[in-house]
């Protein structure tokens, strides 16, 4: 794993909810880092999100990210806010930074308070354990129903700098980035203003283009920190930086869908030939979020009727004769009518495939990543308390 210069990592077991695994993680930058953040648009924002929004308004630099799993610290009222502030103040003192320089993130059960004394007890060990080689451990500490930690790193070509991404997310993943956390760290030197513009674009092209169950959480957070330890990014390398950032975000998004609760298939829903980007996205989401379509994916059933139903329900005035559907390269529907399904069924036997929906209304296209809906999703969500 490539790790950007000047970042240190640590994780400990604080027993917030899980036993026998880390659930409290810390990332620090040895020098102040410019930062950007994108957050959930849910009305019920968790305490760490509210604190992060304060920081976003007031500060362009940050020194650390503190993350916990097992408790979302959401819907906990003013007490939840002061719990978070108390923990951050203690950690700040121990790190010798300001509390406002620490970016918080939580994920887990909604409506329960953080066990503040237990967390504060573990902070000294968390700080003393900081090292360059524990990024994967922080990714583990972020997990809830995730079955594997999500870590991606890339060199920024033509520079000595690196982008490292850590993420979690397996359910409640939808439109505006639901129950997902992602931390992007780079040693490139990029001003906060540029970071904020690029991060917002990158999130739209990646984390906002995946869906597991159409729900959006109280805690979604993406942080991007750039500490400049590999030098200032030359203006001519900005496009390369942008591309690498997008790649890292898209790869993390892919890993989240792959780890979608109970998912056995990753499916790309590609809509082409829509009137405009909004229409393309609405159509792709209607298909990607339909439980009937998603159960058909699970059953490896090329049930194009359900795809048409999902497309048609928006009432956009689609003409059946103008609809073509392909599974990977195999035609399944032409002029709104079904073709032989045998080959399409074979394609759906693979762990990943693409449904291409071609309209003849315009030239806009979009791709949304989704997964199938399986027995396991029900099991996880009927038994797990999010």
Q: Please give the residue ranges that form the binding site for a copy of itself (CB under 8 A).
A: 41-44, 72, 74-77, 109-111, 171-172, 174-176, 178, 213-218, 289-292, 295-296, 298-299, 301, 303-306, 308-321, 335-338, 373-375, 377-379, 381-383, 385-386
Q: What is the nearest approach in angstroms of a copy of itself to the Cβ of residue 49?
A: 11
C-beta closer to a copy of itself: residue 35 or 298: 298
Q: Taking the complex as a whole, how short is the minimal distance between the CB of residue 358 and a copy of itself, in angstroms?
A: 16
Nearer to a copy of itself, 8 or 71 (CB): 71
| Residue 10 vs 217, nearer CB to a copy of itself | 217
Among 107, 159, 179, 386, the one annotated catalytic = 179
Q: Which is nearer to a copy of itself, 9 or 304 (CB)?
A: 304
**Smallest distance, Å, CB 68 to a copy of itself?**
16
Q: How far is the CB of 174 from a copy of itself (least distance, A)?
A: 8
Closer CB to a copy of itself, 117 or 315, in the complex: 315
Q: Is 194 a catalytic residue?
A: no
User: 3-state SS string over the chain?
Assistant: CCCCCCEEEEEECCCCCCCCCCCEEEEEEEEEEEEEEEECCCCCCCHHHHHHHHHHHHCCEEEEEEEEEEECCCCCHHHHHHHHHHHHHHHHHHHCCCHHHEEEEEEEECCCCCCHHHHHHHHHHHHHCCECCCHHHHHHHCCCCCCCCEEEEEECCCCCCEEEEEEECCCCCCCCCCCCEEEEEECCECCHHHHHHHHHHHHHHCHHHECCCCCCCCCCEEEEEECCCCCECCHHHHHHHHHHHHHHHHHHHHHHHHCCCCCCCEEEEEEEEECCHHHHHHHHHHHHCCHHHHHHHHCCCCCHHHHHHHHHCCCCCCCHHHCEEEECCEEEEECCEECCCHHHHHHHCCCEEEEEEECCCCCEEEEEEEECCCHHHHHHHHHCCC
Residues taking part in catalysis? 179
């Amino acid at each position: 794993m490539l790790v950007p210069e000047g970042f240190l990592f640590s994780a400990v077991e604080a027993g917030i909810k899980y036993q026998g695994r880390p659930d409290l993680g810390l990332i620090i930058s040895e020098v102040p880092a410019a930062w950007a953040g994108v957050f959930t648009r849910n009305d019920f924002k968790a305490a760490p999100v509210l604190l992060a929004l304060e920081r976003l308004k007031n500060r362009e630099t940050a020194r650390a990210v503190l993350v916990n799993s097992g408790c979302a610290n959401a819907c906990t009222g003013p007490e939840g806010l002061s719990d978070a502030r108390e923990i951050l103040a203690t950690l700040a003192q121990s790190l010798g930074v300001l509390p406002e320089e620490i970016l918080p993130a939580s994920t887990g059960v909604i409506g329960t308070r953080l066990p503040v004394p237990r967390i504060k007890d573990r902070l000294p060990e968390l700080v003393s354990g900081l090292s360059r080689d524990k990024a994967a451990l922080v990714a583990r500490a972020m997990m809830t129903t995730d079955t594997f930690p999500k870590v991606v790193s890339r060199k920024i070509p033509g520079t000595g700098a690196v982008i490292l991404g850590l993420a979690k997310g397996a359910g409640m993943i939808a439109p505006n980035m639901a129950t997902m956390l992602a931390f992007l760290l780079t040693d490139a030197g990029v001003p906060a203003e540029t970071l904020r513009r690029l991060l917002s674009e990158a999130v739209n092209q990646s984390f906002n283009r995946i869906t597991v169950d159409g729900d959006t959480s109280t805690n979604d957070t993406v942080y991007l920190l750039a500490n400049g330890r590999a030098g200032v990014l030359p203006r001519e390398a900005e496009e390369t930086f942008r591309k690498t950032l997008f790649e890292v975000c898209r790869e993390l998004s892919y890993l989240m869908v792959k780890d979608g609760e109970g998912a056995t298939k990753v499916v790309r829903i590609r809509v082409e030939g829509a009137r405009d980007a909004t229409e393309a996205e609405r159509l792709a989401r209607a298909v990607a979020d339909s439980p009937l379509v998603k159960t058909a994916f699970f059953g490896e059933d090329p049930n194009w009727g359900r795809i048409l139903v999902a497309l048609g329900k928006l009432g956009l005035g689609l003409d059946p004769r103008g609809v073509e559907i392909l599974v990977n390269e195999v035609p399944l529907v032409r002029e709104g009518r079904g073709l032989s399904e045998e080959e399409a069924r074979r394609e759906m036997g693979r762990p990943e495939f693409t449904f291409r929906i071609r309209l003849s209304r315009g030239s806009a296209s979009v791709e949304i990543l989704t997964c199938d809906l399986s027995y396991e999703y029900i099991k996880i969500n009927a038994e797990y308390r999010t």
